[in-house]
């Protein structure tokens, strides 16, 4: 799924003191030799997510799940060490909602949670599943934090959804002399480089996502709704092991394909038109895929559609090859630099097609303004436990092995733009794949 604006800030270096743990699946932060701790006085806290009483299918926050690797809440962890790296002590503390019945005075709602929602993992289960040293009820947050944060000079806390910490969490922190800092960037540094275990999960999400697209293409018929076509994807990926869609899918036919985040999905598919689908799925562990394909509803491209499709596909192939060569030769490259490379290719070809008229130079202000009328999106974004993953790590950061990015060139030509060649009006095409950055 495309993003709107390129970021232009570099990635700050990792702190000299603090936590640097190699990203691993469940409990692997406890495996020896996979991480380092440079100081004994830092801690990372994940505050409780807001409790929602509507049992919809929305996914939880990726930051908390990156720490806990589960859908139940909540996990606090501290990393302690002696001055010798071999003596790293990694302490996990699970904070669970009360096991049986509870009441929410603020919401005026109460009940037996297990009766409403099913069995909870419980305190004993938290120790087993999370490899936790201790487990407490959420009502015992203050004493749990007292034990966890004792002697900590700095505490890094993740920002909760909605931006507001719960009163219980704020009250629990006021008893300590520790300094509290935002910890989102630290966690995102762990998330952005994937372990082989994580990459395997993402390959699985990509494989069943790809099958979902094949099933959609096989079932595409003139006269069906965009919504019906999109539901084919969801049924396919769930049948093959996905939990749910990674995001609301985009299904745009005809001129709707030129609307970048078209979500209505109420129109009918028509003969001789294209349909663009941007969709992905999420698998156990929270890892996502993000794929876009564009194909003809009736199975055959027109001349103008063929020209534009081959153009976008060629841009994608060249971008992936450019990225591959840079990584193989150990030259630095960022997503922003890959984007600039794609823009240069696209602008030259769009001048040839008569889409662009400006002759003021490839990156002049007027040329870029004209180009962005037809492609305002970035070439890609980070991918992982969220579709637009690790938002605090900018596209100006060097790409390194273990990162996963999308490469998704596109062109969006409004049907009412009389400056365009007539045979190209109303065409929207995007091709997106998920790419693993590897050393070789």
- pLDDT tens-digit map of 191-227: 999 999 999 999 999 999 999 999 999 999 999 999 9
Q: How far is CA 266 from CA 229, 287, 291, 298, in A?
A: 11, 29, 21, 19
Task: Determine the pLDDT at residue 3.
Answer: 73
Q: Is 134 helix (H, G, I), strand (E, B) or coil?
A: strand
Paired sense of beta strands 154-157 and 179-182, if any: parallel
Cβ-contact 362, 348 below 8 angstroms: yes
Neighbours of 41 (CB within 10 A): 15
Task: Determine the pLDDT at residue 155.
Answer: 83
Alpha-carbon span 427 to 254, nearest angstrom = 7
Q: What is the 3-state secondary structure (H, E, C) of 244-291?
A: EECCCCEEEEHHHHHCCCCCCCCCECCCCCEEEEEECEECCCCCECCE
Q: What is the mean pLDDT of residues 93-122?
A: 55
Instruction: Please state, for a pLDDT cut of 70, what percent of the chain lies above it.
Output: 73
Query: Across the chain, what does the average pLDDT equal?
Result: 79
pLDDT tops 70 at residue 15: no
Residue 98 pLDDT class (50, 70, 90 cuts): very low
Q: At what angle do helices 196-219 and 226-239 cross, to 10 degrees?
A: 140
Alpha-carbon span 108 to 22, nearest angstrom = 43
Q: Which residues of 97-126 are buried (b: 16+ CB within 10 A; e: fewer)?
A: bebeebeeeeeeeeeebeeeeeebbbbebb
Alpha-carbon span 288 to 286, nearest angstrom = 7
Cβ-contact 384, 390 below 8 angstroms: yes
pLDDT tops 70 at residue 181: yes
User: Which bin fits 321, alpha (ψ -120 to 50), beta or left (φ > 0)?
Assistant: alpha
Q: Classify residue 131 by burial, with Cβ atoms within 10 Å: 0-12, 13-18, 19+.
A: middle
Least confident among 82-96, 324-338, 378-392:
82-96
Helices (H) and strands (E) in the chain, counts: 11, 19
Cβ-contact 358, 160 below 8 angstroms: no
Closest CA to 350 of 311, 378, 316, 320: 311
Task: Determine the pLDDT at residue 93.
Answer: 56
Q: Strands, E, within 127-283: which ranges?
A: 134-137, 154-157, 179-182, 244-245, 250-253, 274-279, 281-282
Alpha-carbon span 23 to 194, nearest angstrom = 6
CA dihedral 262→250→56→201, nearest 10 degrees, is -150
Alpha-carbon span 284 to 26, nearest angstrom = 12
Q: Give the angle subtended at the CA of 91 by the CAs of 82 and 30, to the nearest 5°.
A: 85
- pLDDT tens-digit map of 400-410: 999 999 999 99
In angstroms, the first-to-last Cα distance of the chain is 27
pLDDT tops 60 at residue 399: yes
The answer for residues whose C-beta is within 8 angstroms of residue 273's C-beta and 6 or more apart is 253, 254, 296, 297, 298
Helix (H) or strand (E) holding 91: strand 88-96
Residue 123 or residue 428, greater confidence: 428
Residue 92 or residue 101, greater confidence: 92
Task: Determine the pLDDT at residue 432.
Answer: 98
Q: Which residues pair with 76 in a beta bridge?
A: 45, 93
Alpha-carbon span 98 to 141, nearest angstrom = 11
Task: Determine the pLDDT at residue 2.
Answer: 79
**Most confident of the ranges 53-57, 88-92, 154-158, 232-236:** 232-236
pLDDT tops 80 at residue 273: yes
């Amino acid at each position: 799924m495309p993003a709107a604006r390129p970021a232009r800030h570099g990635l700050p270096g990792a702190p000299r003191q603090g936590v640097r743990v190699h990203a691993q699946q469940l409990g692997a932060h406890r495996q020896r030799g996979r991480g380092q701790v440079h100081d004994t006085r830092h801690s990372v806290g994940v505050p409780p997510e807001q409790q929602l009483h509507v049992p919809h299918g929305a996914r939880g926050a990726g930051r908390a799940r990156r720490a806990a690797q589960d859908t139940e809440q909540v996990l606090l962890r501290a990393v302690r060490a002696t001055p010798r790296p071999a003596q790293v002590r990694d302490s996990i503390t699970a904070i669970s909602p009360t096991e049986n019945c509870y009441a929410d005075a603020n919401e005026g709602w109460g009940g037996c949670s297990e009766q409403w929602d099913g069995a909870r993992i419980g305190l004993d289960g938290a120790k087993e599943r999370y490899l936790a040293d201790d487990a407490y009820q959420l009502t015992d947050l203050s004493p749990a934090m007292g034990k966890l944060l004792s002697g900590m000079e700095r505490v890094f806390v993740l920002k909760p959804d909605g931006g507001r910490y719960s009163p219980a969490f704020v009250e629990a922190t006021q008893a300590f002399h520790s300094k509290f800092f935002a910890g989102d960037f630290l966690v995102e540094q762990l998330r952005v480089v994937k372990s082989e275990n994580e990459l395997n999960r993402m390959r699985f999400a990509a494989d069943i996502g790809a099958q979902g697209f094949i099933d959609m293409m096989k079932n595409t018929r003139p006269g069906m709704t965009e919504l019906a076509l999109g539901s084919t994807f969801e049924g396919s990926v769930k049948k093959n092991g996905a939990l749910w869609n990674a995001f609301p899918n985009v299904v745009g036919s005809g001129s709707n394909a030129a609307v970048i985040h078209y979500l209505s999905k109420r129109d009918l598919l028509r003969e001789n038109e294209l349909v663009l689908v941007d969709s992905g799925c999420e698998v156990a562990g929270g890892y996502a895929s993000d794929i876009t394909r564009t194909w003809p509803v009736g199975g055959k491209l027109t001349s103008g559609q063929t020209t534009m499709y081959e153009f976008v596909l060629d841009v994608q192939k060249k971008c992936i090859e450019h990225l591959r060569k840079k990584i193989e030769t150990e030259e630095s490259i960022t997503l922003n630099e890959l984007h600039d490379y794609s823009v240069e290719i696209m602008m030259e070809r769009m001048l040839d097609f008569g889409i662009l008229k400006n002759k003021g130079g490839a990156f002049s202000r007027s040329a870029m303004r004209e180009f962005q009328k037809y492609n305002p999106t970035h070439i890609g974004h980070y991918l992982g436990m969220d579709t637009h993953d690790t938002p605090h790590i900018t596209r100006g950061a060097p790409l390194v092995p273990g990162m996963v990015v999308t490469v998704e060139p596109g062109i969006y030509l409004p049907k009412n733009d009389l400056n365009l060649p007539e045979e190209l009006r109303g065409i929207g095409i995007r091709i997106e794949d998920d790419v693993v950055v590897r050393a070789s």
